[in-house]
Structure 1
Amino acid sequence: MSLLSLTGLTVLRGSCPVVDRVSLTIAPGECVGLLGPNGAGKTSLLRGALGLLPHQGASSLSVLAPAARARAAAFLPQGREIAWPVSVETLVALGRSAHGAADPDHPAVTRALERMGLAGFRNRRATELSGGEQARALIARVLAQETPLLLADEPVAGLDPEAQIRTMQVFADLAAEGRGVLVSLHDLGLAARHCTRLVLIHRGQLVADGTPREVLTEARLADVFGIRGYHAETPDGPVFQPLGVVR
């Protein structure tokens, strides 16, 4: 069973392919890290897969009607602005719109708030939260959607270390529960530690797809990111640390 299937997905900017014939699948139980340097095409791939950008090739999500797509996949974009001074629980409850009414008392809202450590904030105005707290509230909103697949574009950017680790653990837990996660990341250490699989794209093309150890090789780190790094297996799990630049 596949929660997302891309076949030759291509997204153009003018005549330039920013995503170039990418094929991949996401299955239940996978937490997949989408890696690549700035400008590699990660955001365009996520948006193209959802049908939010014109594309060539095939995506199993983009062919769905909007309502069916909203029940099949939740999407967390990079933008973190909360424009309306609604309560946190009201904001998070918007994730339930895909299933009908946005009910703040729905158990999924409570579960999402608890997972993101926001249970004590549910009656606060979302616009009065700190930037990191607002980011966690927006993650809770997509969690409340409770879809089989979650796509997240740089969800841990700007979060403090504890919130980054907790967020990635939530995504790993979702995969362990049988759901699928595709998460765009720049932190290779978090990706290596929490993702079951990594997909590496460079200049719009898929260049590696496999376990963290298979993807984060010395040659690829140098060719794609221009860095060298340290990778070890420890009693606490895999550890990866960038060490320096090579060019």
Structure 2
Amino acid sequence: MTEGRVVEAGGSALVVRRAPRDRTRAAVLVLHGGQEKGLRPARPWHPPALRMRPFLSAAASVSSPRDVLVGQVRYRYRGWNDADPLQDTLRALDELRGRAGDVSVVLVGHSMGGRAALRAAADPGVRGVLALAPWCPPGDPVDDLTGTRIVVLHGDRDRVIKPAESAAYVRQARAAGAQAGMVLLRGGDHAMLRRSHDWHRASAAAVRRLLRPERDLEGWTAEACGAEEPLLR
């Protein structure tokens, strides 16, 4: 994606990377990873943020520049701490509503950002979540997710976060009313460096489908959401 001027206000949690030419119909917000604890400021040049640049480009490539906003959630801190990234995400969603009204939102989050995205999935504006190797610790609450679509991508060689924890989350999300599914990328690692092209391509396909909540899922996203166990690709 060719980045234009960043539209942001001082202290804003919402960073707009591509503003629509016309009225905003939908939005894709990207959330990067982090660490369990850390009160040092999060910066856009840190590796977890840089890692998500191709996913921003993927979201932009499959969405209309006419009416889909593409942006990021800006964290105050590097760590999860006391759910700080979740609060930043909810604040970004409120700022988006103030800017564009009630629009459908797809959240794309990696690792800690995946945890924040999944925790924010109960927000009324969120219609879809793409969680990339998300941090899903047992005991995290799963709120009412009726009408929300959730796709989880996880590498089967992830040595940082167990894929089984993502699979357990998918089961909980389904019980909470979500249409949810999981795909295991054969050989994929936590940093999404192995098979990086496949991570980017699969993410683009998932975002394209999640941006159309009025249509049924199709292809591998539909297969994943209908399968008892994670798909292996």
Coarse TM-score class (shorter-chain normalised): 0.3 to 0.5
Larger radius of gyration: 1
TM-score by structure 2 length? 0.33
Structure with a larger share of its residues in strand: 1
Structure number with greater CO (CA < 8 Å, separation at least 6) is 1
